[in-house]
A and B are shown apart, each in its own frame.
Chain A
Amino acid sequence: MTNKNLNNHPLYTTFLKKLAREKYIVRFFQVIIFLTFFLAWEIASESGWVDPLIFSSPSRVFRLIITATIDGSLWYHLRITVFETIAGFLIGTLAGVLLAFLLWYSKRFSDIIDPYLVVFNALPKVALGPIIIVVLGPGYGAIITMGAIICVIVSALVVYNGFYKVDDNYIKVLTSFGATKWQKFIEVVFPASLPTIISTFKVNVGLSWVGVIVGEFLVASKGLGYLIVYGFQVFNFTLVLYSLVLIAFLAAIMYQAVAYLEKWLLKIVH
């Protein structure tokens, strides 16, 4: 069998050129939209088409970012919110997997708990905010709990469904070797549903942001959610938009990081 390398076929070269050109066009318009948006915002605000008191302007937000970076307050608030989000995400995800394990391990437990899970899953978890704060006190604990509680049930249900869908015959093989239920979980059920578990990460990280920001709205005296509420109260909308820009930026980074983690983990397990 001859395996000729056709990489210098003239049509292939044209194809590659076309591909590169297409990528360039897409990138070009993305940049244009970005610039237009901020430019329009700046001009509209400077010339008074929109109220600069409410909509601020990119240059003011940018200046605030600079001063906040210099006086350290940017890092201070950002650090706290990021920490709370990551903690909420990790705790929520782990608790979700653990709950899924319990549901899988005991059919009776899952039958008993089923209606409560349905109700709790449907409930908008942020409505629990005040109760959580009263119980845990206003502080990190309550905010992290908000970030965790918002994703725990839904990931438990998704992961449990994954556990349940594992081909019975794999388990039969283990049973024929006399495996215990725990061994069946470790050797088959868990590795077979790893892709499902990993797929909940991306959703959970987004949910944790919601929980943490709402939590900060309610109690905090630091963090980006707090800055939004504070800015709103003192009518400093530059501060509000500054926090919003930071949150958008951080959330996007975290989402991408989790997406990469997902890709990497999936490559390892399969």
Chain B
Amino acid sequence: MSYLELDGISHYYFSEQQCKQAIDQVSLSIEKGKFTALLGPSGCGKTTLLSIIAQLIKPTEGAVTIERRSVEQHSRMIGYMLQQDYLFPWKTILDNVCIGPKLHGELTELEFNKAKALLRKVSLDHVEELYPNQLSGGMRQRVALARTLMTDPAILLLDEPFSALDFQTKLLLENFMVEMLSQYKKTAILVTHDIGEAIAMSDDIYLMQPNPGRIHLHLTVPEVVRELSPIEARRHPEYHRLFDEIWKEMTELDQQESK
């Protein structure tokens, strides 16, 4: 049964100079509780597609539905994490995590306790009163995750959340993220251009091609790899087989592109 559905989404960016098509007729459906990756080269419209799902921009054509109802009726169900953490430097960690409830005008003692519990969950309860610039990149990204989870979104949109981190921190955080999300039974969409990350973390992979952004291929990650944590998954032979397959597809796309 499909949960989140994109139906014939196209998007054009208009400016005085030109009309540029970023997305062309993208349709896909995602089941509840699944982890989906959108994989593709730079400029293929991944961020645009996520922004459309998050309702930050309105698609030129097509519709996004959750349980067959238009997303507009579900605006609070979606959490969005950006490429970098974008914690507010003038707010303490605790206040950063509480920004969602604050904007909704629901900031109570209860919410503060929930925020503290979430920070404990991401092993950061000792930094509540510090400011973002006193934290490392990995810690900041974990705070950003806590901030996103604060409003209990059913769907999490992750736009290359690990791209600014060093490799080791990135692997640890991948593990952590997968654990958190399956524990809270979240549906998640991860945007990335890292093939390994897509395979290690997700259940489904949509390979995108650029100019204009389209879905080229839908792959399902084999059960044996899914069961493993992202770090373990990277050692499994099936992981490598899938990696090679995607690699080949992407190289072919690249060659078509340059012709």
Contacts and interface: CB of A to CB of B under 8 A. Distances in A.
B88 A191 contact: yes
B103 A187 contact: yes
B90 interface: yes
Interface stretch (A46-54, A171-179, A206-214, A248-256): A171-179
A269 B99 contact: no
A191 B75 CA distance: 26
B56 A178 contact: no
B54 A170 contact: no
A169 B80 CA distance: 11
B90 A269 contact: yes
A187 B95 CA distance: 11
A79 to B, nearest CB: 38
A170 B83 CA distance: 12
Contact of A173 (B78, B86, B102, B104): B86
A172 B75 contact: no
B90 A183 contact: no
A191 B95 CA distance: 14
Nearest to A179: B103
A270 interface: yes
A169 B75 CA distance: 19
Interface string A194-237: 10000000000000000000000000000000000000000000
Contacts of A98: none
Contacts of B102: 187
A173 B103 CA distance: 11
B89 interface: yes
B132 to A, nearest CB: 11
Contacts of A192: 90
A188 interface: yes
Interface string A148-176: 00000000000000000001011011111
Interface of A: 167, 169-170, 172-179, 183, 187-188, 191-192, 194, 269-270
Interface of B: 54, 56, 75-76, 78-80, 82-84, 86, 88-90, 99-100, 102-104, 151
